[in-house]
Amino acid sequence: MAGTIFESWARVLVLLHAAAAVVLVGSSTHHFLVSLGYLRWRFKVRLGRIYAAIVVIAYGTTMLLGALAYPTYRYHVRGLYFDRHAVWASNLFDIKENFAALGLPLAIGAFLLSRVMNPKEDRAMVVGYAVMVTILTAIVWFNVVSGILITMERGV
């Protein structure tokens, strides 16, 4: 039987995917806290820009590593196990991936907005920015916790 692409690297890819997710959850949480500060007239603009950049890089890296590991997961874990014995995990994975796809434009948008927005003067923009960062952080946390639960059930 022929293997899937990157099958021999799947465990390493999933480990790197998890490490990137740790960076992502930390940076998105800190970014969220900075954006809340903007609403409270505490302006750490440089820090907000740094976290926005780290989030967008970590988000892209996490998605890329997950995409590289996906063919092996799809066949060996989902196809041979989850779809038969742990349908909840299969469904949770689909939900997680849909949220991840929704989060990418938010990460890019928050990054771009952090570069042009002056939170001291653009108060209307700050509210939208904070909402965007809050939703993104919720997606990241949901995806990390979901990914851990799924992997606890069965990994590659």
**Of how many residues is the chain composed?**
156
pLDDT averaged over the chain?
Answer: 95
Q: Which two tokens stand for residue 124?
A: 């209307």
* DSSP H helices in 5-122: 10-39, 45-72, 83-85, 87-116
Residue 15 has pLDDT above 80, yes or no: yes
What is the predicted pLDDT for the residue at 155? 84
- pTM, rounded to two decimals: 0.93
Residue 5's pLDDT band (cuts 50, 70, 90): confident
Q: Looking at residue 2, what is its pLDDT?
A: 59
Which 8-state DSSP code applies to residue 9? G
113-143 pLDDT, tens digit per residue, is 999 999 999 888 999 999 999 999 999 999 9
pLDDT above 70: residue 95: yes
* Residue from 70, 90, 67, 69 nearest 154 by CA: 90
Question: What pLDDT digit, counting tens, does each position of 50-92 carry?
Answer: 999 999 999 999 999 999 999 999 999 999 999 999 999 999 9
pLDDT at 36: 97
DSSP letter at 81?
I
* The two structure tokens encoding residue 121: 């003067």
User: What is the pLDDT, as a whole number, of residue 13?
Assistant: 96
